[in-house]
Every structure is written in structure tokens, then in C-alpha cells.
A and B are shown apart, each in its own frame.
Chain A
Amino acid sequence: MSILAQQAQLTAPPIDYGAVAPLLIILGAACVAVLIEAFLPRHQRWPAQVVLSIVALVAAGLALALYAGNSGPEGITTISDALAVDRPTLFLWGTLLALGLGSILLIADRSVEPGGAFLASAASRAAVGGGGGGVATGGGVGGGDPDPDRGYGSPDQAPTMQTEVFPFTLFALAGMMTFCAANDLLTMFIALEVLSLPLYLMCGLARRRRLLSQEAAVKYFLLGAFASAFFLYGLALLYGYAGSVRFSEIAAASAGSQKSDALLLGGLGLLVVGLMFKASVGPFHTWTPDVYQGAPTPVTAFMGACTKVAAFGGILRVLYVAFGDTRWEWRGVLWAVAIASMVIGAVIGLTQTDVKRMIAYSSVAHAGFLLLGAMSITAAGTSGTLFYLLAYGFTTLAVFGVISLVRGPDGEATHLSQWAGLAKRSPVVAAVMSFLLLALAGIPLTSGFTAKFAVFSAASADGMVPLVVIALIASAVAAFFYVRVIVLMYFSEPAPDGPTVTVPGAFTTAAITLGVLVTLLLGIVPTLALGWAGAGTFVG
């Protein structure tokens, strides 16, 4: 009887549907995409999935713009404070949706890799081909041999692609959007898993180089699950400390507390390990090069651009809202992490011979720079980091788009030696790649320069001048390996059996153009985006 009485008192929390509409649209589209996989015949799935994904992303973007236009600069929390929709959230959502659109275009392309870059079940054929010693790495296991049992097309047709990547991408994107907006640690943990689980699977779907791809998936999965266990233990300790997992209550508990700080700092430490892993910062980066190299390049583009945005969005909110008042206690540790990340990324990046690995180490260095902005708990630090994420995301997306175009007989030619003299084969691709690499290095008139300037000036204003000096040195070191690629492309003789540059289809062209345009515009007229990034602060 008493249970019934309690149930009568339960009321559903009010939901501001306008605020969370973009998130609901993406999640709904992901569920519809699963149904499409289940019920449509194989040859109809690709067009249906592409149309659905693009329509969903555009609709979510419109809903976002509508809400952003009608709401004030102060944010709200909704679904009984589980999600916080404020200006930084809206900025991150917009960034994620735009990057997601670019990634979907790269993933959907079927002209660069005939039939698309994804195939799920070549495993049995790979075992025949040479699974034992791992010699089949270079062999095109998927490419030309269709499997009539599974309906991948007849021998004279290119096999169709594995269209499950579209629902995976949409689910991952919804997880990332929730991760940025999460206002308590439990929502954040669930969002972390929703964004990670599809990514683990997407890594293992490459049509070519199956062994590398599967190895990347296993490594990503095991290390990712390990890191989320740390995140979760941190959550448990903070729950023990504060009696709640809500950010504002953790902040309130740490403000005037007589309790020992062991639980708070221990919990924060473990939590940060999990977050830094996802953002591929510093000493927690070990998965990054392997997974970036092994995963299919469109997935690497999605991962490199969107995961970074989501992870740093989460880090910003946790540090700002939950631990802003205790910053003098944790900042020393994050100094060490940021230095480690910048040095590791810049120095080890120098020795890389594979383009995708090189960009992976560059992303580790960039994560260190981003951490500088995230550590300075000021409005300038927040807006600088947000702007940096926007700029970095689009540049990375376009870089991986270009990498997917340079192909040898057995798939992508990612070894640096194969890029020698590329400018003579394809001046346009070489010029685009050079521009993007210069943007990653942070040369003026590109978005990279503006972003670095915003983050470094915020950090030095907040008393982190030594760190900024180290960051500038690391940028200079990292610039060396970007410029090395440019020199290689322009001033070397092309190898006689070098790779060819594929003429991209409309989708890949659109994605690369989007990335290059944003990189250029943010470098020349950054004011508008900087204004959006600084339009408001986190709601508690």
C-alpha cells in the first residue's frame, strides 16, 4: 500500500523539447536507420541510409538554429537537470552536426573505394588468405572477390558496402552530443558508452587490410573499456564524496566541506584518466596512432574530428562546473599532463613514416594545446577552446578526406615515401593538402593560427606563461613534420610505381571543400565564430 502511495507521487520530469530537439532527431533517425537495415532489400539500403542521415543532420541543424535564435544567452537544464543546454552546448552541437555531415559524406562515398570502404564479413576469406602469420595485411582481401552467399553482388559488379555504418555513425553522434551536454556524471558515462561502442565496431569494418582494421578494433575496444572502468570508479568515489553525481552538487560539496579530500581528488584523478583517454591526451594516447592507422579512413576522419570535440566539450564542462572552485588543487597535475601530451605528440610525430600515424601524433599534440584552454577556468579559456575545436575538427576532416584519395594498387598509399612528388601527379590535391597541413601547424591566414592564438592568450592571461612557452616550442617542432610532407610532395621526384590520385566523387569533394572553406574562413574572418564561441558560459 505504501509503495502504491509513493508511486502516485512520482511525476515525470518536465522536458524542454525545443532545447533537446536536435538530440532527439539524431537518436530517432538512428533508430529508423536500424529498421532500414532490417527491412529494406540490400540494394535499396545505401540510398535510403544516405538520404536519411543527411536529412536528419540538416533537420537537427535547423532545430538547433531555431532554438539558438529564440533563446537568451543564459542556458537551461532539462530532464530533471540531466542535460544542460547552454551557449557552449549549442556551439558544440552545431560543430558536431556540421562535422557529422562531413563525415557522413566521406563514409557514404562509393567512388573512391569502389563499393565503399566498409565490409563486415570478409573474416572467413581472410583466414584462407593468410590469417596465420599476419602476412595478408597488404593484400586486398575484400576488393575484387565477391561473396555470392552474402549477396555482395555478382562477379562483374563491385560489392555493395556495409550500410550498418550509417546507424553506427548516427548513434555515435547522438552519444557525443549527449556527452557535451551532460550535467551529471551518470549521463556522461552513458553518453561515453553510446559514443564509444559504435566507434569500436566501425573501426573493424575496413574493406582492405582487414587484419590491421580488426587489430585496431580490438585495441580500441580493450583500452576504451579499461579507461571507462577508471571513469566509472572515479564516478563512484565522487558519489561517495558528494552524495550526488550532479556537477553543481559536487561543486557545492567541495566548497565548504570538512570531509577529507582523498575521495574528491582520487575520484577526480580517475575521472580525468577516463576523459583524457577519449580525448587522446598525453600519456593516455597509446591507442590513438594504432586506431587512426588501422581504421577505415572515413571512420578515422569521423573519430579524429568528432570524438575530439565531444571529449573536450565534456572535459570543459566537468572542469568548469564541477571542479572550477578546486582548480588550485588539480591544476599542477594537468600541467604535467599537458606538457607530456605536447612533447609526446611533437617529438614522436617527427619519426613517423605513415601519414595517418603522423596525423594521429599531431592530434595528440593538439590535445595538449586544447588542454591549455580547458585548464584556464575563464570565459576566454572556454571560448578559445571551443573555437579551437571547431577549427581543428574541420581541418582534420579535410586532411583525412585527402588522404583517402591517394591510392596504390592495394588500397590507400599511406606510407610517406609514396607521397614523394605528388604535386607533379596532382597539383590540386598537393596544394589542398599543403594548405591543410599549414593550418594544422598554425600558420597565419589559416584557422589554426587564430585558434592557437585564442587558446594561448587565454592561458597566459590565466597565469600559465611557462606552459604557453612550451606549447610554442612544441608547435615549432610539430611544424617541422608538417612542412616535411609539403617538401616531399613538391621537391621530390615521383616514384615510377607511385600511387595514383583518385578523382573523388561528389560526396568526398563536398566534404573536403567544406573542410577547406571553413579552415580558410576561420583564418580570415574569425570574428563571427569567435563571437558565437564566447556568447555565454556554462550553466551550473
Chain B
Amino acid sequence: MTPTYYLLLSALLFSIGAVGVLVRRNAIVVFMCIELMLNSVNLTLVTFARINGALDGQVIAFFVMVVAAAEVVVGLAIIMSIFRTRRTASVDDANLLKY
């Protein structure tokens, strides 16, 4: 099994995540799609670490996980606060700021 397949898989996952961010309405689901993108990057990093025969990529993946966890904390807090105010987490309803 060549590592290239893993690169293709992670590119596919990244694209699915990006499309999900663009088409989904619920803020939580949008956020999960962003997490999918971050994790696909982790897969890319680990694969490249394997190809290059160095550990850097795996270490970077750990950093990414920590950052993703911090982002969840902040993100859910913000989404919760707007949900409490509006009783909805749809990103289409948040439309007061425009033009």
C-alpha cells in the first residue's frame, strides 16, 4: 500500500469538509466540518512524515490536535451564546449584518 493513497484520502476528506462548511446551515455542523478539515490535515502530516522518514509531521499533528481542542472550547461557547439569544443555531438566521 503506497502512502500516496493516504494523501488522496486526506485531500478527499478536506474537500468534503470544505464543501460541508459552504452548504450546511447549522453552526454546529459547520463547525464539525471544520474539525474534519483539521483532522484530514493531520492525516496528511502523518503521511508525509512517513514518506520523509522523519518525526516532525507527527509532532505537528499533536500541536494541531491541541489547537483544535482549544478552538472547540471557544467555538462552542460562542455558538451557545448566540443559541441562547436566538433559540436557533442556523447560520442563515444570523443576517442582521449585511451590505
Contacts and interface: CB of A to CB of B under 8 A. Distances in A.
Contacts of A219: 94, 97
Given A193-B70, A201-B74, 20 more contacts: A127-B84, A134-B96, A137-B96, A189-B67, A190-B67, A193-B71, A211-B85, A214-B81, A215-B94, A215-B95, A217-B81, A225-B34, A229-B14, A233-B37, A233-B41, A233-B44, A235-B60, A236-B44, A240-B7, A240-B48
9 nearest CB pairs, A to B: A229-B37, A240-B48, A290-B97, A236-B44, A215-B94, A123-B84, A214-B82, A131-B85, A232-B41
Nearest to B51: A240
A128 B22 CA distance: 32
Contacts of A132: 86-87
A239 B41 contact: no
A288 to B, nearest CB: 11
B45 A239 contact: yes
Contact of A237 (B37, B44, B74, B84): B44
B51 to A, nearest CB: 7
A269 to B, nearest CB: 14
Interface in A224-273: 225-226, 229, 232-233, 235-237, 239-240, 243-245
Contacts of B14: 229, 233
A215 B74 contact: no
Contacts of B12: none
A124 interface: yes
A236 B45 CA distance: 5
Contact of A215 (B37, B77, B97): B97
A473 B44 CA distance: 44
Nearest to B80: A123
B21 A226 contact: yes
A215 B48 contact: no
Contacts of B93: 134
Interface string A192-235: 01000100110010000011101111110110011001001101
A186 B63 contact: yes
Nearest to A134: B96
Nearest to A199: B74
Interface residues of B, number: 47
B23 to A, nearest CB: 13
Contacts of B74: 197, 200-201, 221
Contacts of B78: 200-201, 204, 214, 217-218, 221
A137 B64 CA distance: 37
B38 A215 contact: no
B9 interface: no
Interface of B: 7, 14, 17-18, 21, 27, 30-31, 34, 37-38, 40-41, 44-45, 47-48, 51-52, 54, 56-57, 60, 63-64, 67, 70-71, 74-75, 77-79, 81-82, 84-87, 91, 93-99
A240 B84 contact: no
A244 B56 contact: yes
A215 B96 contact: yes
A293 interface: yes
B72 to A, nearest CB: 10
17 contacts: A123-B84, A123-B85, A127-B84, A132-B87, A204-B78, A215-B82, A216-B97, A218-B91, A221-B74, A221-B75, A226-B34, A229-B37, A233-B40, A240-B48, A243-B52, A243-B56, A289-B97
A126 interface: yes
Contacts of A216: 97
Given A132-B87, A214-B85, A229-B38, A197 B44 contact: no
Contacts of A225: 31, 34, 71, 75
Interface string A329-369: 00000000000000000000001100001000000000000
Contacts of A218: 27, 78-79, 82, 91, 94
Contact of A222 (B34, B37, B54, B67): B34
A183 B45 CA distance: 19
Nearest to B14: A233
A138 B25 CA distance: 26
Given A193-B70, A226-B21, A245 B60 contact: yes
Contact of B60 (A201, A233, A239): A239
A186 B60 CA distance: 7
Nearest to A289: B97
A134 B21 contact: no
A294 interface: yes
B62 to A, nearest CB: 11
A210 B86 CA distance: 11
Nearest to A201: B74
Given A186-B60, A197-B70, A201-B74, A222 B91 contact: yes
A123 B98 CA distance: 22
Contacts of A233: 14, 37, 40-41, 44
Nearest to A287: B97
Nearest to B11: A233
B15 to A, nearest CB: 10
Given A186-B60, A201-B77, A236 B82 contact: no
A259 B87 CA distance: 53
